[in-house]
């Protein structure tokens, strides 16, 4: 074979790989409102930077007519490029090739790119659009999944791992995204379920559509599996780019700094947060008063709304916010909020992102449903996550901080580096009314006017205990500050804590109450 023939054959194979399952299959993908695997990568990466590898890999199985279906690439595109000018590795499953099913070489390509990402200490993005394990390849498909899961686990906490669901993701395929740090989904396109609608109907007789069973809305609002929900693939992939702008390349790299529009609107906080503890407000307004303008990137905004977590920038630097949301369930901690907060805290600790906790919490949510579903176990995750974290930890007690929930929300005793409180903060075992019903019961019963006596005792209790000064006297609050001082104080704390270093006892790993 001469040079001309050799180059002609190479270009022919490359063209076949680029075409995937063929023009007809590409058109069907578009008819479903979906982009192709390559179109997705074009949106994800900076223009002209993506480099594909293993583009000519093919299945070696000929059984069941697979020899007539296979094409170079084996249904997944893998490679690396630049996102916001920084190196990122990626895989993108191609549904036009045998339904994007995962076979031996399909999985080998993904495993190889995972290994490269870990060696180079760079983030990895996996785009999932697959019919699941390739049945024709039998046990080799299952083995392929296990290799992917193992690498997800080894890389966890070392490099950011982001999964994007842009089509079906069923059975064992769900578990790689589940081990990743974040999952992105698109309404009416993303589907995730361990067993599909037909199996559910056959086994338990429940008839559900794929959307009802495991669609984007279901996982964003009900299960909490999905972290980010979008209306279009383009916006979703733009969201991945945005998330990466807040994160370091790995757990030993510096956090990115992005110049933004610095604001200090903390003078407005006395108008945002009512001094009447029975009135609600939106904690997003508190966050936005102190961070760079339009820099808050919320995580799991549709699930467990009594907790608000996400990334913001202060003077261009990434900060993780963990907040109680007073306008949903009073900001109380329940099972889902506990899981949401603990997972986010641990991610920030993995990648050296300082934590700011905005606290207004009345209690762990009471009730038999919470108790029977394990609020003790789930609530303990917050305690564990905060105590385990060695990053800078700053707390601001805005209004209520009662009982066990006060302890859990990064209290001084749990390892908070600096605790601030506003003058209206109430730090106590419980609210005045509940406390007096217990400790003042005999006095109230013996009084000529029980209601007047109750009111008198409540007022006395509030004046004596429901303020930040008792805690400040004991050193549990470092400083009582005015709301308009909030940003200045937090920035000063972040600055002094940037050289924080903690040495912990040797251990393989802790045993978090999962």
Instruction: Check: CB of residue 469 under 8 Å from CB of residue 481.
Output: no
Nearest alpha-carbon partner for 87 in 129, 119, 40: 119
- Beta-bridge partner residues of 317: 257, 314
Report helix, strand or coil for 450. Answer: helix
171 included as an active-site residue: yes
CA gap 489, 421 in Å, rounded: 11
* b (16+ CB within 10 A) / e for 281-313: bebbebbbbbbbeebbbbbbbbbbbbbbbbbbb
Q: What DSSP string runs through 202-263?
A: HHH-----HHHHHBHHIIIIII---SEEESSHHHHHHHHHHHHTTS-SSTTSPPPB------
Q: In sequence order, which residues have a C-beta less than 8 Å from that of residue 230 and are 6 or more positions away?
A: 184, 185, 186, 187, 236, 239
Is 220 an active-site residue? Answer: no
CA distances, 161 to each of 50, 149, 179, 491, 498 (Å): 18, 12, 9, 29, 25
| 271 CB-contact burial (10 Å; exposed 0-12 / middle 13-18 / buried 19+) | exposed
Angle, vertex CA 473, rays to CA 467 and CA 479, nearest 5: 75
Element (H, E) at 427: strand 426-428
DSSP 3-state assignment of 493? helix
**In the chain, helix, strand, coil percent, each to 5?**
45, 20, 35
- H helix or E strand, kind and range, residue 114: helix 104-120
Q: Catalytic residue, from 342, 405, 432, 471: name it.
A: 405
Tell me which of 138, 260, 404, 434 is the catalytic residue: 404
CA-to-CA distance for 93 and 37, rounded, in angstroms? 6
* 167 catalytic per annotation: no
- Which of 21, 100, 172, 331 does the annotation list as catalytic? 172
Catalytic residue among 144, 171, 215, 320: 171
Q: How far is CA 89 from CA 129, 255, 425, 458, 511, in A?
A: 17, 19, 47, 60, 31
Which residues are designated catalytic? 171-172, 404-405
């Amino acid at each position: 074979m001469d040079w001309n023939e050799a180059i002609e054959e190479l270009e022919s194979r490359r063209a076949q790989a680029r075409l995937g399952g063929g023009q007809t299959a590409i058109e069907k993908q578009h008819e479903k409102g979906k982009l192709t695997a390559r179109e997705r990568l074009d949106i994800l990466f900076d223009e002209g930077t993506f480099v594909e590898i293993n583009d000519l890999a093919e299945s070696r199985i000929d059984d069941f007519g697979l020899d007539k279906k296979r094409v170079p690439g084996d249904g997944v595109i893998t490679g690396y490029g630049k996102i916001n000018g920084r190196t990122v590795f990626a895989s993108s499953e191609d549904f036009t090739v045998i339904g994007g099913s995962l076979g031996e070489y399909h999985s080998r390509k993904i495993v190889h790119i995972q290994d490269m990402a870990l060696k180079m200490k760079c983030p990895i993005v996996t785009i999932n659009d697959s019919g699941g394990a390739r049945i024709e390849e039998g046990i080799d498909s299952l083995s392929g999944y296990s290799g992917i899961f193992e690498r997800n686990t080894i890389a966890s906490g070392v490099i950011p791992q982001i999964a994007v669901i842009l089509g079906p993701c069923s059975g064992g395929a769900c578990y790689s995204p589940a081990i990743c740090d974040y999952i992105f989904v698109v309404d009416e396109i993303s589907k995730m379920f361990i067993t599909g609608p037909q199996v559910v109907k056959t086994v338990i007789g429940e008839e559900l559509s794929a959307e009802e069973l495991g669609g984007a809305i279901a996982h964003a609002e009900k299960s909490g599996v999905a972290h980010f929900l979008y209306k279009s693939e383009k916006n979703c992939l733009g969201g991945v780019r945005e998330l990466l702008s807040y994160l370091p390349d790995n757990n030993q790299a510096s956090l990115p700094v992005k110049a933004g529009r610095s604001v200090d609107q903390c003078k407005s906080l006395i108008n945002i947060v009512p001094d009447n503890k029975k009135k609600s407000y939106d904690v997003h307004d508190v966050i936005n008063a102190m961070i760079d303008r339009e820099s808050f990137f919320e995580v799991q905004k549709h699930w467990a709304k009594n907790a608000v977590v996400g990334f913001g920038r202060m003077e261009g630097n990434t900060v993780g916010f963990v907040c109680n949301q007073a306008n949903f369930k009073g900001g109380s901690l329940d099972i889902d909020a506990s899981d949401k907060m603990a997972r986010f805290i641990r991610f920030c600790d993995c990648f050296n992102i300082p934590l700011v906790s905005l606290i207004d919490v009345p209690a762990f949510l009471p009730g038999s449903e919470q108790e029977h579903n394990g609020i003790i176990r789930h609530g303990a995750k917050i305690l564990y996550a905060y105590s385990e974290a060695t990053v800078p930890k700053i707390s601001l007690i805005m209004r209520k901080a009662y009982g066990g929930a006060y302890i859990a929300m990064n209290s001084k005793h749990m390892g908070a580096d600096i605790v601030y409180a506003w003058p209206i903060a109430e730090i106590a075992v419980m609210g005045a009314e509940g406390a007096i019903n217990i400790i003042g019961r005999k006095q109230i019963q013996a009084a000529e006017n029980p209601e007047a006596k109750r009111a008198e005792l409540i007022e006395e209790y509030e004046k004596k205990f429901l303020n930040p000064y008792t805690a400040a006297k004991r050193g549990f609050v470092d400083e009582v500050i005015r709301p308009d001082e909030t940003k200045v104080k937090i920035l000063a704390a972040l600055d002094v804590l940037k050289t924080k270093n903690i040495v912990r006892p040797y251990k393989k790993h802790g045993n978090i109450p999962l």
